[in-house]
């Protein structure tokens, strides 16, 4: 992955309530005060973190559990137990990172689409992947892009299977 977008991986298991999640704080929300974008798991229990502000809930082996805890990640270092007041104070800075988040997420989606394309390496698949990449410009915020990335991660095997079947039908035709 591009060095500019190097992820820190955090592996979680469910907290005492049976839940685990990581949400990136991306701005203000009229209902919940803070807009949270829930991150997808790249593998079971594995989340990718970048410089930013997060709320984390779950257990990482060897450290005290995260209990809906605010954390700041900067230069691969995590500051834990950040107060809500500090997060509200940082909101103007958090909002300024929206464009950077969108660029990073588009890069991640392109990588995931390329993985799917390489799995089949067929001209029609690459054409469809290029079309999907072009459609990313219609997504307006990091929440939409995060949802798209999550869907790609969850549906990767289904997409490969679907493309394989389409290629077989073309060859049989």
Residue-wise pLDDT for 31-62, tens only, equals 989 999 999 999 999 999 999 999 999 999 99
Residue-wise pLDDT for 121-166, tens only, equals 888 889 999 999 999 888 888 999 999 999 999 999 999 999 888 8
Q: Would you state the CATH architecture of domain 3-96?
A: Sandwich (2.60)
Rounded to 5°, the CA angle 35-105-149 comes to 85
The predicted model scores a pTM of 0.85
Question: Closest Cα to residue 124, out of 89, 154, 165, 78?
Answer: 165
List the chain domain ranges: 3-96, 99-172
């Amino acid at each position: 992955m591009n060095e500019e977008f190097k992820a820190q991986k955090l592996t979680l298991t469910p907290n005492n309530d049976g839940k685990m999640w990581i949400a990136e704080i991306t701005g203000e929300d009229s209902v919940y005060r803070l807009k949270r974008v829930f991150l997808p798991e790249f593998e079971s229990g594995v989340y990718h973190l970048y410089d930013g502000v997060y709320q984390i809930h779950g257990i990482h082996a060897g450290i005290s559990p995260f209990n809906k805890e605010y954390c700041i990640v900067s230069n691969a270092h995590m500051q834990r137990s950040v107060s809500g007041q500090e997060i509200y104070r940082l909101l103007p800075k958090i909002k300024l990172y929206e464009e950077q988040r969108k660029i990073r997420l588009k890069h991640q989606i392109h990588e995931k689409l390329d993985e799917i394309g390489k799995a089949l390496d067929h001209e029609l698949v690459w054409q469809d992947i290029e079309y999907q990449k072009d459609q990313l410009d219609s997504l307006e915020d990091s929440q939409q892009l995060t949802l798209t990335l999550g869907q790609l991660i969850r549906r990767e095997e289904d997409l490969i299977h679907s493309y394989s079947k389409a290629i077989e039908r073309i060859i049989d035709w």
